[in-house]
Amino acid sequence: MGTLISTLDELVAGIGDGARLAVPKDFSGVAMAATRALLRRGVKNLHVVGVPVCGLQVDILIGAGAVRTIETSAVTLGEYGPAPRFTAAVRAGSIRVLDATCPAIHGGLQAAEKGLPFIPIRGLIGSDVLTQRHDWRVIDNPFQPGDKVVALPAIRPDVALFHAPLADRHGNVWIGRNRELMTVAHASAATLVTVEEIVDRKLLDDPVLAPATIPDLYVTRIAAAPRGAAPLALAGRYAADAEALAQYAQAAKTEEGFRAFLGEWLASNTV
């Protein structure tokens, strides 16, 4: 069965309670419109994988009580400060945190992409991160006795969710320079994508666009969502809404402020 063009609600219906959900960093195409649709549905107990970090989207999901586990190398609002709902949840012990590094997240996804059970990487031995990850193993390099490497289990998301500039009616999705989205689509059991527009021409027939296009083989559903990453930026399309991000960072410092934001955001269909 080929890729299905759907509505936002149909798209997020593919994300069940307890799903292992992979999402990109704030400037790589975050599916904010789909996130709002997902929260309206009342999803719970997500295991979120930040590829390799996450920000506004995940802070909102955590504040809304939709996340049980977060696996990433950072959760931050960047220049707008710490992620307040993530910070509060860690302090309260209401979420499980699987601390990682950027290379570890990318490595785990690359292992899944290649059908491997694990992948060896360097740079973790002696770190505090390694002492907290009991699912990681220090092993001998089989080709050089005495040389230690860290074996990381493959990261196999149930669903990848992101926003992209362009798709065609065949289900091919153009991601531009954000190549990690190609990796996460290969690694995930399902890939759900919102896009700025859906065109009739076949993107893989264009020699300029084809190298940065995810083939429909790896895409499960697409939905048109103009400005679907806002208030975050989408490269080449629109800038981040600095005022909206600053307002969120201030409001979400308290539970009451976050609840007021969330109620207004879920009731709105605008950015």
- pLDDT reported for residue 263: 97
161 shares a domain with 148: no
Say if residue 127 is in the same domain as residue 188: no
- 79 near 86, Cβ under 8 Å? no
108 is a domain residue? no
Report the number of distinct structural domains present in the chain.
2
Task: Flag residues of the chain having pLDDT under 50.
Answer: 1
Does 22 map to a domain?
Answer: yes
Q: Are residues 190 and 226 in the same domain?
A: yes
Q: 45 with 56: CB under 8 angstroms?
A: no
- Which residues form the domain of 31? 4-103+156-267
- My answer on whether 253 and 212 are in the same domain is yes
Residue 258 in any domain: the answer is: yes
> Considering the domain boundaries, does residue 32 fall inside one?
yes
**Residue 23 DSSP one-character state:** E
Same domain, 172 and 230: yes
For residues 43 and 126, state if they share a domain: no
Q: What is the pLDDT of residue 123?
A: 87
Q: Is the domain of 14 the same as that of 148?
A: no
Same domain, 146 and 82: no
Q: Which long-range contacts (CB under 8 A, 24 or more apart) does 12-16 make?
A: 12/37, 12/38, 12/41, 12/43, 12/192, 13/41, 14/159, 14/190, 14/192, 14/220, 14/221, 15/43, 15/46, 15/159, 15/161, 15/192, 16/43, 16/158
Residue 146 shares a structural domain with residue 187: no
The identity of residue 13, as a single letter, is: A
Asked if residue 112 belongs to a domain, the reply is no
The predicted structure's pLDDT at residue 71: 98
Answer yes or no: do 139 and 208 share one domain.
no
For residue 111, tell me if it sits in a domain. Answer: no
Note the pLDDT of residue 2: 65
Flag whether 58 is in a domain: yes
Domain match, 13 and 140 both:
no
Shared-domain flag, residues 168 and 147: no
- Per-residue pLDDT of 174-206, as tens digits, reads 999 999 999 999 999 999 999 999 999 999 999
CATH number at residue 16: 3.40.1080.10
Q: What is the pLDDT of residue 270?
A: 63
Sign of the CA dihedral with 99 first, then 159, 51, and 115 last = positive
Q: Is the dihedral of CA 34, 39, 44, 48 positive or negative?
A: positive
pLDDT in tens, 248-271: 999 999 999 999 999 999 998 765
Look at residue 244 and tell me if it is in a domain.
yes
Tokens matching residue 193: 């994508």
